[in-house]
Amino acid sequence: MDARASSPLRGIFWMLITGLCFVAVTALVKYLDNAVPAAQAAFLRYVLGLVFLIPMWKVMRDTQLTRRHYTLFGARGVVHALGVTAWFFAMTRIPIAEVTAMNYLSPVYVTLAAALFLGEKLAFRRILAVVAALVGALIILRPGFRELNIGHFAMIGTALLFAGSYLFAKITADEVPAAIVVAMLSIFVTIGLAPMALAVWVTPSLWALLVLFAVACFATVGHYTMTLAFASAPLTVTQPVTFLQLVWAVTLGAVVFGEPADVWVIVGGCVILGSVIFLTIREAQLKRRGVTPSVHAPKT
């Protein structure tokens, strides 16, 4: 920790780059605007991203996996594939700012699920943070005060599905190298998306393929710079920087896509993000372990 704490500016810099990469992912998917069906777009993104597994080949070859590991990886692949499809679908139905704000719910669901299924203690501070996050979600959605469309429900489902994916990741990360967890996710999500993509397949244009490859590139770079940020500075420094993703998403939606800035989305997003930052920093101070995933981890 001392080494990381000695480079806070470097950590902030890499987290800024991370946020820009993930906002670029969101913007590119929004830009596709149903050029291909959501399931097919998600499938192509993962197929094109398989090229980034080449550097992991040696670790994959040398790691001995059991039938149990493959079962867990397969189950995670199915859950994550459904979540990715729902996320791609939501991107075509609701504003970028709402997608970004509701993305922050996944770590909150993970906290609840870890208590229910992994036997982790649900301390009072966790309960308060969860309640605050759910209040933030209600501020964004405002049921009864505005009409909700299927995109909002898709994002709620997305957050729940990714929470399940993170739980599988936690179990496997305790048993195999992190590179294997990442590689197996890419492989099994691609397999899980294949039948859904084939069911709605349309011939993609070259431009759509290029956009989806750019999505894969930005997502990969974002993961890498996020790792550099964590290696450079403690969470107390890097986590608050994730707030800028919501600022950039609102700005991008208004300037590029003509989506009016909704003050309630901003307020609700800040409430959710505040609760997640509190959870993450507090848990990091108490014990160094990957229970609550990073709120800025991309969903693709």
Statement: residue 280 has pLDDT above 50: yes
More confident residue, 75 or 230: 75
Q: For residues 127 and 183, is the Cβ–Cβ distance under 8 A?
A: no
Interior/surface letters 199-224, b for 16+ CB within 10 angstroms, e for the rest: eeeeebeeebeebbbbbbbbbbbbbe
Q: Which residues pair with 143 in a beta bridge?
A: 146
| Cβ neighbours of residue 265 closer than 8 Å, sequence gap 6 or more | 95, 97, 98, 101, 140, 250
Instruction: Report the predicted TM-score, pTM, of the whole model to 2 decimal places.
Output: 0.81
pLDDT of 61 reads: 85
At 187 the pLDDT is 92
How much is the average pLDDT of 149-156? 91
The per-residue DSSP string of 163-206 comes to HHHHHHHHHHHTTS-HHHHHHHHHHHHHHHHHHHHHHT--PPPH
User: What is the share, in percent, of the chain residues with pLDDT greater than 90?
Assistant: 28
pLDDT at 2: 46
pLDDT at residue 111, rounded to an integer: 78
- Assign 218 a pLDDT band (cuts: 50, 70, 90): very high
Q: Mean pLDDT throughout 125-145?
A: 85
The two structure tokens encoding residue 254: 């208004």
Q: Where in the chain are the domains?
A: 2-286
Residues 165-174 have pLDDT tens digits of 888 888 887 7
Query: Phi then psi for 143, rounded to 5 degrees?
Result: -60, 135
Q: For residue 222, give the H/E element and its range.
A: helix 206-232
> What pLDDT digit, counting tens, does each position of 7-37 carry?
778 888 988 998 899 889 988 988 888 789 9
Task: Taking residues 211-232, report their average pLDDT.
Answer: 84
Number of CB atoms found within 10 A of residue 257's CB: 13
- Which residues are bridge partners to 100 per DSSP? none
